[in-house]
Structure 1
Amino acid sequence: MSAILPAAELRADAAIDVAVIGAGACGLVAAMRAAEAGADVLVLERDAKPSGSTSMSSGFIPAPATRFQRAIGIDDDTPDRFAADIQSKTKNRADAGLVETVSSAIGPALEWLGDSHGLEWIVLDDFLYPGHSRHRMHTVPEKTGAALLQRLATAADGAGVMVASGAHVIGLFIEGDRICGLRIARADGQEEHLACNALVLACNGFGGNAEMVARHIPEMRGAPYYGHTGNQGDAVLWGQALGADIRDLSGYQGHGSLAYPHQILISWALMMEGGVQVNAEGRRFSNEHGGYSEQAVHVRAQPGAMAWNIYDQRIHNFAQSFPDYRDAMEAGAIRQAADITGLARVIGVEAGALSDTFEAVAAFQDGTADDTHGRDFSTKPALEAPYFAVKVTGALFHTQGGLMVDSSARVLSVSGMPFANLFAGGGAACGVSGPEVSGYLSGNGLLTAVALGYIAGRGAAQVALPQSSS
């Protein structure tokens, strides 16, 4: 049970300048930044091997004005343009200061990871994710979250960052507004106390806590959770006990394209390239270009909480560049049919209804009719036989609400004052998606993980080493 404990009960077995809870993207980036600034850093990871939400993600990080963009001819992106895209998706409900902070920091963070730690970045430029006005999605060459985490872990090891696995932080020792130590449960059942000069919370959100999800995100009660079960909301619970400013707990990233029952993410690029979703009646039910996060709610509202992604050979060939899609092929999740009648039989829907859907889409495609759901079909080629399909459901990926932080990623109290030495990033911090699912812009999760980790690591080192920092 997470707890706030008085400093008088701290019996430190060891001491560290900067402690970081969580060895995902946020925690590892923060640890490398703190170590670079001269701090002794220890990352505490509850699992035997770091995995978490980073490894389960697509591994795509949006960033403006990077040299990686410029190398492929994208020279008109700016932090202000990115911030405007974020706020457009949230309908201006995200905190403006926080949006400005992460939009400005993420580009330098990725370039620093490349220059100082050897991470190789490529920019996806063959399609635009919903809501982004420029190609700015950066990824490692493998195009997976697991590869991103592995590269970060290798970089952190090379930077001399210590990671203690099997170390579950179950309490914080406090004195006034300062965190002075951690209570740690080890995998062997032993308990340790660690003193620290600064603490970075990088332990994600509360997606794995069914009770908290039901309370704060009732529309996702009972939905599949495609995230790490260890995300139990520790940061939020500690923050509540400390009197921290906690916002947007109703905000989250959903996804309307999780292969069922295989639990494999099917990239939304299939929809952006021209695919459609139909329900068990063979009918479309939404604008598939509105955003994959809110599409989770639309899919969950269909009969059986299921839908079918439908697309053609061109899109199937394109999708094979994504490792998750190749995994879905190997798992037998992808269906194929030579024509519409065969497709209806393969996916178990009424052939007449599916044929009507294809005819309607063709009319939207050639401009003879307007889609009542508001999608523009004119920018991509019409679907052609043979056809492909995959059964999907809507899922909760990660929560977006959390501890409010200032421009140095320091946690704020309800009175607006920063805690002396407590920092947060990623899912532990309030994100930039606003209070509900439709505010999530593609990549917002890793955006705040890397940007706030980059900021928090430096800030934590400055607090921990006040005599040597500038």
Structure 2
Amino acid sequence: MSTDPSVTFDAPPRLDAEADVVVVGAGACGLVAALRARAQGAEVIVLERDASPTGSTSMSSGFVPAPATHFQRAIGVDDDTAARFTADIMAKSKGLSDAALAGLAARSIGPALEWLADTQGIDWIVLDDFLYPGHSRHRMHAVPEKTGAALLARLIAAAERADVPIVTDARACGLFIDDGRRVTAVEVTRPGGAREIIGCRALVLACNGFGGSRDLVRRHIPEIADGLYYGHEGNTGDALLWGEAIGAGLKHLTGYQGHGSLAHPHGILISWALMMEGGIQVNAQGQRFSNEHGGYSEQAVHVLKQPGGIAWNVYDERIHRFALGFPDYQEAVGAGAVKSADDVAGLARATGLPEAALALTLDEISGLQRGAGTDAFGRDFTGKPGLVPPYHAVKVTGALFHTQGGLTIGADARVLDRDGAPFPNLFAGGGAACGVSGPEVSGYLSGNGLLTAIAFGWLAGGAAARG
């Protein structure tokens, strides 16, 4: 029997269980929605297709941008506002983001993080040792462990404390919708093929985007269709397919988050902080090919255009020691992905890069760092110390992380139809909903994924509980 997402415009034949709010997906978006709905007195069930919640949240850096929080003020950032953050989002996408959604996310994320801290015990720190590309203030929040896996673990623990059941090995495969366009039930497949039908008063789609469906990626984002997918394989576009079937509005399906720094072949994310601290990327000829400060998302496309679809991150001991503060980088060191050498000749031998070209590139950026000349790619090197031996390098490739387009939603994360009218009890957030990055890869501002997961999940949970 097929498990492809289906919609039945009729009453369910039976109900095996019921809840006020059913949430599809146990990532950051789904768990925040569930916690908010439960806090408002709703009975909630979270459906998770995997044997244990993992997904895109656990694979991410776990960093969440938010303005005007008391966590920022505690470290002296007291001039950030939702309006400033919205302006940064719109500037990164060159004005192509949905301005209403950008403003909604920017206004909601700070209260959402503070609510998670005050009511759910989720601790936040603000990263203030560097600015991520496109952000005008230090506003990147993280749990103390500074990983997405730790963020997800803390949300799962909060759900357990709140008595929110997370039903695993439960693939939501079908929706039942009545003639008033209300979702009345969700059909679930279980291991071995058994099926259950769960009734609901409201449904929250938090099942991410369609990056795990090669067919959908090729249809909507052909420029990255041949790139490596560094996301959860379960992100197969169920929300998108359901939306198409019920006449929901869909927007910015060509938008996505890429990343130009995935260790190859190890598959370990190398933080873009290395570039922001002064590192460079060179291709197999030992030459730079772009402005590394433009943004890590669009850098995926630049890297994939290089010979073999690879590049090398090149940096020095100062940056290496800085990067050791990131768990992913520690993992890369342990896996042998980081090559080290005392001089240019040694680095060329360790990486296979041509020594003469690599030396010339390093000489050029040394001059740029001293203020001699202008970078052909438009990067300003004068704000950080120059690169000096010993050197380090990591071979990387470009990858698709997750899609940014999806179902259109209103101010309470309620799904809208193609004419802009709301469905009565259907909500979406995170990768299931249209995000704030616009229609192009270059529109992705650092943290936009978890921004909309948590902000829109928080809004969806509150509205779903109210009915």
> TM-score of the superposition, structure 2-length normalised?
0.98
Residues 1:95 and 2:104 are matched in the alignment: no
Rounded to whole Å, the distance in 2 between the matches of 1:332 and 1:306 is 17
Rounded to whole Å, the distance in 2 between the matches of 1:372 and 1:122 is 37
2:454 corresponds in structure 1 to: 450
Whichever residue aligns with residue 217 of structure 1, its letter is I
1:188 corresponds in structure 2 to: 192
Displacement of 1:188 in angstroms is 3.1
CA contact (8 A) 2:63 2:146 kept: yes
Displacement of 1:189 in angstroms is 1.8
Rounded to whole Å, the distance in 2 between the matches of 1:7 and 1:186 is 22
Rounded to whole Å, the distance in 1 between the matches of 2:82 and 2:132 is 17
Residues 1:418 and 2:452 are matched in the alignment: no
Rounded to whole Å, the distance in 2 between the matches of 1:222 and 1:330 is 29
CA contact (8 A) 1:43 1:163 kept: yes
Displacement of 1:6 in angstroms is 2.3
Rounded to whole Å, the distance in 2 between the matches of 1:411 and 1:144 is 30
CA contact (8 A) 1:250 1:435 kept: yes
1:313 corresponds in structure 2 to: 317
CA contact (8 A) 1:225 1:396 kept: yes
1:120-159 to 2 correspondences below 5 Å: 120-159=123-162
1:286-435 to 2 correspondences below 5 Å: 286-435=290-439
Whichever residue aligns with residue 247 of structure 2, its letter is G
1:37 corresponds in structure 2 to: 40
Residues 1:26 and 2:29 are matched in the alignment: yes
Whichever residue aligns with residue 103 of structure 2, its letter is E
Whichever residue aligns with residue 26 of structure 1, its letter is C
Whichever residue aligns with residue 97 of structure 1, its letter is A
Whichever residue aligns with residue 118 of structure 1, its letter is G
CA contact (8 A) 2:12 2:197 kept: no
CA contact (8 A) 1:7 1:180 kept: no
2:75 corresponds in structure 1 to: 72
Instruction: Give SS of 1:357's match.
Output: helix
1:8 corresponds in structure 2 to: 11
Rounded to whole Å, the distance in 1 between the matches of 2:7 and 2:13 is 11
Moved more, 346-355 or 197-206: 346-355
Rounded to whole Å, the distance in 1 between the matches of 2:456 and 2:164 is 18
Displacement of 1:156 in angstroms is 1.1
Instruction: Give SS of 2:176's match.
Output: strand
CA contact (8 A) 1:10 1:181 kept: no
Rounded to whole Å, the distance in 1 between the matches of 2:231 and 2:410 is 27
Whichever residue aligns with residue 27 of structure 2, its letter is G
2:268 corresponds in structure 1 to: 264
Instruction: Give SS of 1:364's match.
Output: helix
Displacement of 1:8 in angstroms is 2.8
Rounded to whole Å, the distance in 1 between the matches of 2:99 and 2:440 is 16
Rounded to whole Å, the distance in 1 between the matches of 2:40 and 2:372 is 62
CA contact (8 A) 1:23 1:43 kept: yes
1:55 corresponds in structure 2 to: 58
Whichever residue aligns with residue 275 of structure 1, its letter is G
1:168 pairs with one of 160, 166, 171: 171
Alignment: residue pair count: 463
Rounded to whole Å, the distance in 1 between the matches of 2:225 and 2:104 is 32
Displacement of 1:317 in angstroms is 0.2
1:252 pairs with one of 243, 251, 256: 256
Instruction: Give SS of 1:26's match.
Output: helix
Rounded to whole Å, the distance in 2 between the matches of 1:351 and 1:243 is 58
Displacement of 1:181 in angstroms is 0.5
Rounded to whole Å, the distance in 1 between the matches of 2:208 and 2:406 is 9
1:466 corresponds in structure 2 to: none
Displacement of 1:28 in angstroms is 0.3
Q: Structure 1 runs of 4+ off > 6 angstroms?
A: none
Structure 1 residue ranges without an equivalent (≥5): 464-470
Rounded to whole Å, the distance in 1 between the matches of 2:168 and 2:205 is 16
Moved more, 49-58 or 2-11: 2-11
Displacement of 1:11 in angstroms is 1.5
Residues 1:223 and 2:227 are matched in the alignment: yes
Displacement of 1:455 in angstroms is 0.3
Rounded to whole Å, the distance in 1 between the matches of 2:17 and 2:278 is 57
Rounded to whole Å, the distance in 1 between the matches of 2:371 and 2:13 is 70
1:210 pairs with one of 214, 217, 220: 214
Instruction: Give SS of 2:193's match.
Output: coil
1:98-141 alpha-carbon deviations (Å, 9 max, x no partner): 11111000000000100001111000000000000000000001
1:281 pairs with one of 280, 285, 298: 285
Give the superposed CA RMSD: 0.6
Moved more, 191-200 or 337-346: 337-346
Whichever residue aligns with residue 269 of structure 2, its letter is L
1:47-99 alpha-carbon deviations (Å, 9 max, x no partner): 01000000000000000000000000000000000000000001111111111
Displacement of 1:241 in angstroms is 0.5
Rounded to whole Å, the distance in 2 between the matches of 1:453 and 1:18 is 13
Rounded to whole Å, the distance in 1 between the matches of 2:289 and 2:164 is 49
Rounded to whole Å, the distance in 2 between the matches of 1:200 and 1:59 is 22
Whichever residue aligns with residue 50 of structure 1, its letter is P
1:152-191 alpha-carbon deviations (Å, 9 max, x no partner): 0001111111110010000100013110101110123210
CA contact (8 A) 1:24 1:54 kept: yes
Rounded to whole Å, the distance in 2 between the matches of 1:81 and 1:391 is 36
2:49 corresponds in structure 1 to: 46
> Identity over aligned residues, as a percent?
63
Displacement of 1:387 in angstroms is 0.1
Instruction: Give SS of 1:8's match.
Output: coil
Rounded to whole Å, the distance in 2 between the matches of 1:349 and 1:48 is 43
Whichever residue aligns with residue 455 of structure 2, its letter is A
Structure 2 residue ranges without an equivalent (≥5): none
